Amino acid sequence: MNNFEFSRATDVADAVRQITTEPGAAFIAGGTNLIDLIKEGVTKPSRLVDITRLGLDRIEDTSDGGLRIGALVPNSDLAYHPEIAKRYPLLASAILAGASPQLRNMASTGGNLLQRTRCFYFYDTTTPCNKREPGSGCSAIDGLNRMYAILGASEHCIATHPSDMCVALAALEARVLAAGRNGERSIAFADFHRLPGDTPQIDTNLSKDEIITALELPPDGFAKNYSYLKIRDRLSYAFALVSVAVGLEIENGMIRQARLVLGGVAHKPWRDREAEAQLSGAPAARESFIRAAETLLNDARGFGHNDFKIELARRAIVRALSQAASGTPQSQIDKRVR
């Protein structure tokens, strides 16, 4: 049993003060990931700072026509919010593809961004893991690595980021608002999560003293031509083997703008600007989608058990782009898109 203190933050400034004055403290929001990590002995905070009563649970319009989502908005409330369902259905689909209704009711927006990898070895404290214990080694590289990264991995860690919501947020170019000792800042979503490199213990570029207060979505939600396709071992309550978030802007059969982000394949949502640039200006047709998939997966590499994910990702990209282009995000591919 690892004893810890518990306190409740009264406002954002108090939350920052509490986390700054006690280096071993951790924020707790819905607790759906943190409590598991504590129970398994992966993390041992000296104090839990409850942030659930900070009033960061609103969804509001921004002056530029986008939306601001408070960090404590539950995943379910976000997915079913009328403005999200109407203007950002890609985000709603991604959230509803994750976890279970009960978990989504508890899970917060901020916590979803900071959930940790589902690598089995990370949770098993009897095995070496560079993310849990830097310098101890990576058990997955020569171990059971079926679920692991095919892009952006390093010799120190091949874990993937498990979130579905974050894949859609990367495609929508959301921004993360954070408050800390040095004031407030806004972080582009692409710069929020990190690749493992030689410091796999650090998942994000958020500082230890910072709290996520909100997310901001830009006005364009790609509501007409979008798709979130999640391939997993069973239809619910399973993490992605590969997922694909697509947003397209199409005019007269030609792609004007494309967003293409993969989940389940890297330490962060994997966005490839070269593949997106290739799609922009191209016909919304199967040949363009195959070319984009090849570009995106050019440097993909498997570690044995997960080699199949490269072909799986190629097919998933083509299918998600086809679904988005035909305006049938979750259903049959329109035969007119070839």
Ligand X SMILES: Cc1cc2nc3c(=O)[nH]c(=O)nc-3n(C[C@H](O)[C@H](O)[C@H](O)COP(=O)(O)OP(=O)(O)OC[C@H]3O[C@@H](n4cnc5c(N)ncnc54)[C@H](O)[C@@H]3O)c2cc1C
Binding site for ligand SF4 (CB under 6 A): 117, 119, 121-122, 129-131, 138-140, 157-159, 200
For residue 193, list its beta bridge partners.
204
* Cα radius of gyration (the chain): 20
User: Among ligand SF4, ligand X, none, what does residue 139 contact (CB within 5–8 Å per kind)?
Assistant: ligand SF4
In the complex with ligand X, the residue whose CB is nearer, 28 or 157, is: 28
Contacting range for ligand X; rule: CB under 6 A; set: 20-28, 135-143, 190-198, 292-300: 20-28
Look-up of token digits 């908005």? 73
CB of 155 to ligand SF4, least distance (A): 10
CB of 246 to ligand SF4, least distance (A): 27
Using CA atoms, how far residue 315 sits from 121, 220, 257, 310, in Å, is 29, 27, 21, 9
Measured CA to CA, the distance from residue 163 to residue 94 in angstroms comes to: 9
**Using the rule CB under 6 A, which residue among 112, 139, 145, 306 binds ligand X?**
112
User: Taking the alpha carbons of 330, 235, 265, 115 in that order, is the dihedral positive or negative?
Assistant: positive
| Contact in structure between 206 and 189 (CB atoms under 8 Å) | no
Contacting range for ligand X; rule: CB under 6 A; set: 124-132, 158-166, 179-187, 197-205: 158-166
| Contact in structure between 151 and 270 (CB atoms under 8 Å) | yes
Contact letters (x/-) for ligand X, 90-109, by CB under 6 A? --------xx---x--xxx-
CB of 116 to ligand SF4, least distance (A): 9
Our finding on whether 18 is near ligand X (CB under 6 A) is no
Q: How many residues bind ligand X (CB under 6 A)?
A: 30
Indicate the residue whose CB is closest to ligand X: 111
User: Among ligand X, ligand SF4, none, what does residue 71 contact (CB within 5–8 Å per kind)?
Assistant: ligand X
Measured CA to CA, the distance from residue 23 to residue 97 in angstroms comes to: 35
Our finding on whether 290 is near ligand X (CB under 6 A) is no
For residue 245, list its beta bridge partners.
228, 261
Q: Over 279-294, what HEC string results? A: HCCCECCHHHHHHHHH
Our finding on whether 28 is near ligand X (CB under 6 A) is yes
Measured CA to CA, the distance from residue 222 to residue 37 in angstroms comes to: 36
User: Among ligand SF4, ligand X, none, what does residue 163 contact (CB within 5–8 Å per kind)?
Assistant: ligand X
User: Among ligand X, ligand SF4, none, what does residue 157 contact (CB within 5–8 Å per kind)?
Assistant: ligand SF4
Look-up of token digits 């003060």? 17
Contact letters (x/-) for ligand X, 193-232, by CB under 6 A? ------------------xx--------------------
Q: Nearest CA to 95 among 212, 218, 228, 289?
A: 228
* Burial of 133 from C-beta contacts in 10 A (0-12 / 13-18 / 19+): middle
Our finding on whether 279 is near ligand X (CB under 6 A) is no
CB of 114 to ligand SF4, least distance (A): 15
CB atoms within 10 A of CB 82: 8
In the complex with ligand X, the residue whose CB is nearer, 147 or 255, is: 147
User: Among ligand X, ligand SF4, none, what does residue 131 contact (CB within 5–8 Å per kind)?
Assistant: ligand SF4
And the tokens for 221?
A: 């939600």
In the complex with ligand SF4, the residue whose CB is nearer, 121 or 189, is: 121
Measured CA to CA, the distance from residue 120 to residue 195 in angstroms comes to: 19
CB atoms within 10 A of CB 204: 17
Give, as ranges, the residues between 165 and 184 that touch ligand X (CB under 6 A): 165
Our finding on whether 164 is near ligand X (CB under 6 A) is yes
Measured CA to CA, the distance from residue 97 to residue 329 in angstroms comes to: 13
| Interacting residues with ligand X (CB under 6 A) | 26-34, 36, 51, 71, 98-99, 103, 106-108, 110-112, 114-115, 162-165, 211-212, 239
